[in-house]
Amino acid sequence: MDNKFLSRLYLVVSREACRGRDIVTVTEQAVMGGVDMVQLREKNLSVQEFTETAIQLKNMLDRYNVPLIINDNVTVAKASGAYGIHVGNSDIPPSQIKTQWADCSMLGYSIEYLEQLTNAEIAFADYLGVSPVFSTATKTDTVTEWGLEGITQIRKLTDKPLVAIGNMNESNAFDVIKAGADCIAVVSAICGAKDPLKAAEVLRNQIERAL
């Protein structure tokens, strides 16, 4: 795996996912439990609100040395001083992100179907999202449900770090890492948990056990 990429438990967070709880508080709990990378994924906020939330998160995350990644918005990523950006297959292509934001330190790119792996855009990505591994109510506009076999298949075709996302939880994290993923990304398993710190700890333990 690429040395630059050392993250194992990746929280994908939004205000909505925190279900009325404060996003910075939930995220800080998650970090204390073992989350080592955070993505802010807001689909319904204005650029101003998205940026403000990103800055609040970054101020907290900096104290823990945890990188902040912004989903699909170069303006917000630059304005908040984020570490990187994550884009999907139908978003701005990675090559263009690099043109628009030369200082981007981490570029994530979701793999939604197998043919994408032969695309030149892959070379611009620092990690690939295997999206989704299992179907999830959190994101329903998906193409391929990769399953464990899909992770293993992608693992054989690329050396890029693989981030597994989609219905990841404490009962499948171990198998997903064993199948070839380097990192687990979650929304509900942490944001929806009564105790986000404990939920992160349990997930992190499953991951470490599989490494």
- Residue stretches of the annotated binding site: 39-43, 71-72, 91, 110, 136-139, 187-188
Give Cα separations from 78 to 12, 45, 68, 69, 110 (angstroms). 19, 17, 11, 11, 21
Q: Which does 91 bind (CB under 5 to 8 A by kind): Mg ion, ligand TZP, none?
A: Mg ion
What does residue 30 show for φ and ψ, rounded to 5 degrees?
Answer: -60, -40
Q: Work out the angle at residue 88's Cα, subtended by the Cα atoms of residues 83 and 93, and round it to the nearest 5 degrees.
A: 80
Spatial CA neighbour of 181 closest among 128, 134, 137, 143: 128
Q: How far is the CB of 92 from ligand TZP (least distance, A)?
A: 17
| C-beta of 45 vs 189, nearer to ligand TZP | 189
Q: Restricting to residues 95-134, name those near ligand TZP by CB under 6 A.
A: 131-132
136 binding ligand TZP? (CB under 6 A): yes
Q: Which does 182 bind (CB under 5 to 8 A by kind): Mg ion, ligand TZP, none?
A: none
187 binding ligand TZP? (CB under 6 A): yes
Non-local CB neighbours of 19 within 8 Å, separated by 6+ positions: 191, 192
165 binding ligand TZP? (CB under 6 A): yes
* Residue nearest to Mg ion according to CB distances in the complex: 88
Spatial distance between the Cα atoms of 148 and 154, rounded to a whole number of angstroms: 10
91 binding ligand TZP? (CB under 6 A): no
Only one of the segments 93-101, 114-122, 171-179, 186-194 lies at the binding site for ligand TZP (rule: CB under 6 A); that segment is 186-194
| C-beta of 72 vs 182, nearer to Mg ion | 72
25 token code pair: 């508080």
Spatial distance between the Cα atoms of 35 and 83, rounded to a whole number of angstroms: 16
Q: How far is the CB of 139 from ligand TZP (least distance, A)?
A: 4
112 binding Mg ion? (CB under 5 A): no
Q: How far is the CB of 20 from ligand TZP (least distance, A)?
A: 17
Spatial distance between the Cα atoms of 24 and 53, rounded to a whole number of angstroms: 9
Residue with tokens 């693989």: 162
150 binding ligand TZP? (CB under 6 A): no
Q: Which residues bind Mg ion (CB under 5 A)?
A: 72, 88, 91
